[in-house]
Each structure stands twice: as structure tokens, then as C-alpha cells.
Amino acid sequence: MLLKILAVGDVVGEGGQDILSRRLPALRDMAGAHFAVVNGENASGVGITPAQARRMFEAGADVITLGNHTWNRIQIGDFLDKNDNILRPANYAGRVPGRGMGVYQCQGLRIAVLNLMGRTNLNSNLDNPFKSASHLLNHGEFDIALVDFHAEATSEKGAMGWYLDGRVQAVWGTHTHVPTADCQILPKGTGFVTDLGMTGPVRSVLGIKPENSINLFMGGLPRRYEEAEGSCKLNACLFTIDTEKKKCQEVRRLDLEE
């Protein structure tokens, strides 16, 4: 059996939520996707609220993953504890709400989704994501495993892909909001892409107004980032997995722009 997994890049702001709500159902149908994982940590610009998470589930997300902005909307804490289908990075140090790995039923299979966060140029108060991955995978019961690695450095993402090659069926990177063109099958059968990209405003700097970013790099006074306006895009990848061989057969980009 071939299992098709749709992975959607970081949803940014109201524009990202809107295009996800309008286009994800048809995209799932067109791709024949059995299961969809959406990174939602930027739904509020920074962070996500319970209402925004519900909207993503209604659009067709089976699982929502998060990242370094998980706690920017602190009201998500209780929701993380109560809802098994939204994950925060598993390697957060200390006692925080929620879980970093879930196992879900799909097509008669147990699909594990693991959310991890990198440490290079991000929050240093994290457990080692490589060791965390091994621990969770070694103690979990599942048929297929998928990993969203939310990280800044492309080298760290690439290292995670190779580290987990043959142990999971797919590893994709999130966080940098820029889609990469390196979709590949690693030697032991793991599908990999360095970064999915983002779902949000096209004419922007990572989803925000360009002038906000220019002000930062020109040494201006700190100011609140504002979501850019105008047409939006949806960046995603489709992973096709041979469930008998437990290997990824194909990885291809499924990007759309309005």
C-alpha cells in the first residue's frame, strides 16, 4: 500500500490561515493525501491560539506541529494538554504543557508524528534533539514515523535527516519560511526536504511587512512586526510511502500561489 502524507509549511498570520482554509481541502483531494501535518506556530504572527488551531483542524489538518513561538500565546497551554492532535517540540527542557509525539490511526496504520526543535541559533534551553528523537522512537509503538524538525540551521536539519535515515519514513524542516529544492530519498529509505517553506503573504520578508525587517537591519528602534498584505502562497511537500517496505518512494513539492 502507498500512503501519501502532506506536510504544510509554517502558517503565517491571518493571510496564511485564510489560504489554508480555502485551499487545503482541494489540495488534499488533488494529491490523494491520506494524512496532513501542518506547522501552525506562526498563526498569530508569533504563536497560536486555540481558536486558530481549531480553524486549521477544520481546514483538514490531522496534526498541528509547533516550534520556537509555542509559548508566545500562553493560552495555548491548556489546549496542548487536552488535544492529542497538536504537538509542541518534544525536546523542550523542563515541565511544560503538551506532548512532542503522537500516534494516530490512518488507513489501518499507526502513524507517529514527532515534533523537534533545533538548538543552533535558537533557544539553547533545549534537550538534545537527536537524543530526544532516539529515545522517543525507541520507546514508541507505531508502523510509520514522521518528523517535523523546526530548526534554523540547514546543516542541523540535514544532519537530523541522515541521523534518522532508515528509522523513520519522512523528515522535513520548518522554521526558516523559505522552501528548499532538495527533495530526496536518503540511502536507507527516508524522505527528506530541508525546509517546507511557509503558508502566508507572498510579497513579504518571511510573512511580515518588508519595511519592518528593513528597519531592524538598519538599526531602527524596535517595533512590532506586522503581517504583510496581499496575495498568499501555500508551500507543502507530498511524501509517498511504501507501507510494506516502510520506505519513502517519492518526495515532491506541492506549492501553490494566488
Partners of 86 in beta bridges: 64
Active-site amino acid positions:
69
CATH of the domain at 227: 3.60.21.10
Residues 73 and 46: their CA atoms lie apart, in Å, by 8
Query: What are the residues facing 136 on neighbouring strands?
Result: none
Digit-by-digit pLDDT tens for the chain (258 residues) are 999 999 999 999 999 999 999 999 999 999 999 999 999 999 999 999 999 999 999 999 999 999 999 999 999 999 999 999 999 999 998 789 999 999 999 999 999 999 999 999 987 789 999 999 999 999 999 999 999 999 999 999 999 999 999 999 999 999 999 999 999 999 999 999 999 999 999 999 999 899 999 998 999 888 888 999 999 999 999 999 999 999 999 999 999 999
Domain hosting 38: range is 2-257
What is the reported pLDDT for 224? 82
Q: Quick one: how far is CA 77 from the chain centroid?
A: 19
**Under 8 Å between Cβ of 151 and 122:** yes
> How many domains does the chain fold into?
1
Q: Please choose, from the candidates 141, 183, 145, the residue with its C-alpha nearest in 3D space to the C-alpha of residue 166.
A: 145
DSSP for residue 165: B
Q: Which residues contact 42 (CB under 8 A, 6 or more apart)?
A: 10, 11, 12, 13, 16, 48, 69, 198, 200, 207
Rounded to 5 degrees, φ, ψ at 77 are -55, -55
